[in-house]
């Protein structure tokens, strides 16, 4: 990263925290972190933290003008797929409007924009997908993610879009992702029903963060699929997770997606082919077992830290101007 100035939006989220950690601990970049909450979920000195809501053009302009970044990494998004189906206006404002505000502000400083998209831009009829396959989103979330991509592609700015899927990992105060929810449920001996007809690559958030920064370091632009090495059904992932955490896999019952009657339609035969990123960025995404071993470590370290220092991880951290 040399002596570049990097601004991260959504720095309190799962991916945002991983990107922030890599930047602050592993590079000499000058880093500004920003999320919608009033405070950072954890201290990340020497990075500066500035509260900003990306749906506010003014907030985004101010943070960008203050930090004068060479690179903006946007990890902010509304990621609850079913909520996006029912709260469409909010989903659009963040996932599309927010990206447009970042583009507008970046234009003033000439910053490169790194953005994260999803396999939900595809219909899941014939995955796994390459970067050149034709998007056909089934859900409103997928539509917002595709529209965000399109805004960047039409902007004339330097951009890097990473498409990813089934992000998992642990960081203080993050919302539950599939893996954390499953661990918690199985630890409580709660039976769970997991779909066996949705396929894709579970992705360790740390691998994605590393891939994004490799892309920046190498000056890459365009679209890259960055996702885990293995393509499996959700059910298969769940069973392998139960094994890796010594939890009771017999609590997991396979079901079909249609039986869940979720508000948002999901792509079934999905998955992302990561060859381009592996060759051009030189990354080697984790297998499921490798990723789960990292997750196990992260959770134990998180528990140890919580025991040592009181209830800091997961502490409520109030939102800004909502």
Ligand X SMILES: NC(=O)c1ccc[n+]([C@@H]2O[C@H](COP(=O)([O-])OP(=O)(O)OC[C@H]3O[C@@H](n4cnc5c(N)ncnc54)[C@H](OP(=O)(O)O)[C@@H]3O)[C@@H](O)[C@H]2O)c1
For residue 189, the minimal CB distance to ligand X (Å) is 26
**Among residues 49, 141, 159, 224, which one is catalytic?**
141
Q: Decide: residue 322, CB within 10 A, 0-12 exposed, 13-18 middle, 19+ buried.
A: exposed
141 tagged catalytic: yes
Q: Rule CB under 6 A: say whether 35 interacts with ligand X.
A: yes
> 76: alpha, beta or left, given left = phi > 0 and alpha = psi -120 to 50?
beta
Q: What does the angle CA 313 – CA 171 – CA 248 come to, to the nearest 5 degrees? A: 100
For residue 144, give both structure tokens.
């917002």
Among the listed residues 4, 8, 13, 239, the single contact to ligand X using CB under 6 A: 13
For residue 199, the minimal CB distance to ligand X (Å) is 14
Pairing relationship of beta strands 5-9 and 30-34 according to DSSP bridges: parallel
Q: Decide: residue 125, CB within 10 A, 0-12 exposed, 13-18 middle, 19+ buried.
A: exposed
Q: Which residues ranging from 51 to 90 are in contact with ligand X (CB under 6 A)? A: 53-55, 75-79
Q: Rule CB under 6 A: say whether 97 interacts with ligand X.
A: no
For residue 2, the minimal CB distance to ligand X (Å) is 25
Distance CA 194, CA 241 (A): 12
Q: Rule CB under 6 A: say whether 183 interacts with ligand X.
A: no
For residue 314, the minimal CB distance to ligand X (Å) is 12
Q: Which residues ranging from 212 to 241 are in contact with ligand X (CB under 6 A)? A: none
Q: Catalytic positions, please? A: 141
Interacting residues toward ligand X by CB under 6 A:
9-10, 12-16, 35-37, 53-55, 75-79, 94, 98, 116, 118, 145, 164-167, 174-175, 177, 319
């Amino acid at each position: 990263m040399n002596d570049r100035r990097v601004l991260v939006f959504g720095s309190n989220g799962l991916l945002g925290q991983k990107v922030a950690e890599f930047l602050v601990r592993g590079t000499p970049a000058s880093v500004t972190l920003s999320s919608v909450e009033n405070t950072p979920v954890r201290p990340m000195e020497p990075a500066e933290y500035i509260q900003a809501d990306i749906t506010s053009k003014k907030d985004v302009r101010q943070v960008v003008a203050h930090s004068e970044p060479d690179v903006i990494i946007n990890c902010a998004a509304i990621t609850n797929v079913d909520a996006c189906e029912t709260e469409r206006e909010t989903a659009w404002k963040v996932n599309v409007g927010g990206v447009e505000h970042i583009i507008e502000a970046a234009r003033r400083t000439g910053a490169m924009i790194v953005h994260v998209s999803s396999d939900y831009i595809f219909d899941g009829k014939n995955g796994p997908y390459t970067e050149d396959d034709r998007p056909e989103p089934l859900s409103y979330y997928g539509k917002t993610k595709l529209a965000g991509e399109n805004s960047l592609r039409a902007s004339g700015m330097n951009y890097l879009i990473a498409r990813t899927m089934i992000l998992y990992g642990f960081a203080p105060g993050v919302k539950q992702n599939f893996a954390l929810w499953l661990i918690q449920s199985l630890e409580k001996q709660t039976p769970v029903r997991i779909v066996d007809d949705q396929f894709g690559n579970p992705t360790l958030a740390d691998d994605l963060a590393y891939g994004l920064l490799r892309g920046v370091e190498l000056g890459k632009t365009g679209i890259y699929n960055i996702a885990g090495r293995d393509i499996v059904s959700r059910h298969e992932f769940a069973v392998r997770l139960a094994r890796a955490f010594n939890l009771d896999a017999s609590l997991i019952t396979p079901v079909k997606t249609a039986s869940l009657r979720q508000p948002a339609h999901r792509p079934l035969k999905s998955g992302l082919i990561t060859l381009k990123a592996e060759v051009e960025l030189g990354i080697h995404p984790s297998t499921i077992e490798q990723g789960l071993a990292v997750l196990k470590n992260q959770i134990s370290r998180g528990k140890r830290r919580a025991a040592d220092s009181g209830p800091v991880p997961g502490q409520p951290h109030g939102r800004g101007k909502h």
